[in-house]
């Protein structure tokens, strides 16, 4: 999952970034409203974590402008203010969920998974396709009774394929959802990882569509 984190408290942002990365998320960071607004316009973001108390442009203003621009990415707002009026204001401007500081990062991880599941039309914390299963909470992937030994990137790729089963997914789309903006992206990297994933889950599950990309299932 590709997550945008907009938080000006560097210590908190670092802690959240570390926790989300350990949970298998790809995280982009912004420390003020202006940069956060610009990054939020990118279509590859799956969810956004937005602090309300931002310098430059408030979180509420950023959220309002995103929604006015047609950005439908699920947004979870963070607030240290703890008043019900701030929460209501955020929800009224188009937020999908909220957390009041302080909070535990595992709760944030669970809420982000829930937001993405709803966005993709899933109600369960477990993805299933034929004999393949991925538990989003534990990060375990199985094929029948076999526990699959997947790298972090292979697991992210498999989750994305399973969430987008039967859709055509271009290489560009995969790159945008699997890598941070600053990562080195060699031209043949995606083909290499798709090939490795095929060997572990069954080559027939991921079809290559020439000039278009891939289709899972």
Which residues pair with residue 214 across a beta bridge? 169, 208
> Average of pLDDT values for 10-23?
94
**13 shares its domain with 108:** yes
Give the CA distances from residue 20 to residues 1, 13, 174, 200, 215, in Å, rounded to whole numbers and listed in that order: 10, 10, 19, 25, 27
| Portion of the chain with pLDDT greater than 70, in percent | 90
- C-alpha count within 13 angstroms, C-beta hemisphere, residue 16: 30
CATH of the domain at 33: 3.40.50.2300
For residues 118 and 88, what is the distance between their CA atoms, to the nearest angstrom? 21
24-52 confidence digits (pLDDT tens): 888 999 999 999 999 999 767 889 999 99
CATH of the domain at 167: 1.10.10.10
What is the domain count for the chain? 2
**173 shares its domain with 96:** no
**Which one, of 13, 4, 9, 88, lies nearest residue 49 by Cα?**
4
Q: Which two tokens stand for residue 47?
A: 């969810």
**32 shares its domain with 66:** yes
**36 shares its domain with 94:** yes
**155 shares its domain with 101:** no
- pLDDT exceeds 70 at position 123: no
Give the domain-ending residue among 103, 119, 135: 119
Q: What is the pLDDT of residue 119?
A: 62
**Which one, of 75, 23, 69, lies nearest residue 47 by Cα?**
75
Q: Which domain holds residue 22?
A: 2-119
For residues 46 and 62, what is the distance between their CA atoms, to the nearest angstrom? 17
**142 shares its domain with 92:** no
Give the domain-ending residue among 53, 84, 119: 119
Q: What is the pLDDT of residue 37?
A: 95
8 — phi, psi (to 5°)?
-90, -15
> Average of pLDDT values for 143-161?
90
Report angle CA 170, 172, 174 to the nearest 5 degrees. Answer: 75
For residues 83 and 11, what is the distance between their CA atoms, to the nearest angstrom? 23
Give the domain-ending residue among 119, 135, 161: 119
**16 shares its domain with 106:** yes
- pLDDT exceeds 80 at position 186: no
For residues 184 and 163, what is the distance between their CA atoms, to the nearest angstrom? 25
**170 shares its domain with 99:** no
**112 shares its domain with 35:** yes
| Portion of the chain with pLDDT greater than 90, in percent | 45
Q: What is the pLDDT of residue 82?
A: 59
For residues 96 and 55, what is the distance between their CA atoms, to the nearest angstrom? 22
Q: What is the dihedral of CA 166, 2, 88, 118, to 10 degrees?
A: 20
46-92 confidence digits (pLDDT tens): 899 999 989 989 999 999 999 999 888 899 999 876 567 777 888 88
Question: Which residues have C-beta within 8 Å of that of residue 169, sequence separation ≥ 6?
Answer: 160, 161, 213, 214, 215, 216
**182 shares its domain with 142:** yes
**114 shares its domain with 142:** no
Q: Let me know: does 171 contact 213? Beta carbons within 8 Å.
A: yes
**111 shares its domain with 10:** yes
Q: Over the chain, what is the mean pLDDT?
A: 86
């Amino acid at each position: 999952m590709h997550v945008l984190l907009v938080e000006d408290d560097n210590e908190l942002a670092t802690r959240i970034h570390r926790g989300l990365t350990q949970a298998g998320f790809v995280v982009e960071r912004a420390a003020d409203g202006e940069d956060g607004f610009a990054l939020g316009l990118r279509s590859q973001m799956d969810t956004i974590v937005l602090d309300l108390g931002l310098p430059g442009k408030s979180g509420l203003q950023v959220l309002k402008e995103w929604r006015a621009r047609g950005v439908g990415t699920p947004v979870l707002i963070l607030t240290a203010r703890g008043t019900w009026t701030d929460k209501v204001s955020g929800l009224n401007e188009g937020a999908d969920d909220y957390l009041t500081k302080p909070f535990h990062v595992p709760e944030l991880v669970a809420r982000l998974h829930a937001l993405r599941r709803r966005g993709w039309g899933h109600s369960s914390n477990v993805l299933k396709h034929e004999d393949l299963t991925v538990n989003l909470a534990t990060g375990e992937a199985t094929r029948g009774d076999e526990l699959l030994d997947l790298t972090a990137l292979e697991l992210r790729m498999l989750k994305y394929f399973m969430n987008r089963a039967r859709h055509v997914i271009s290489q560009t789309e995969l790159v945008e959802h699997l890598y941070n903006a600053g990562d080195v992206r060699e031209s043949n990297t995606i083909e290499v990882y798709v090939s490795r994933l095929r060997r572990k889950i069954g080559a027939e599950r991921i079809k290559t569509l020439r000039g278009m990309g891939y289709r899972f299932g």
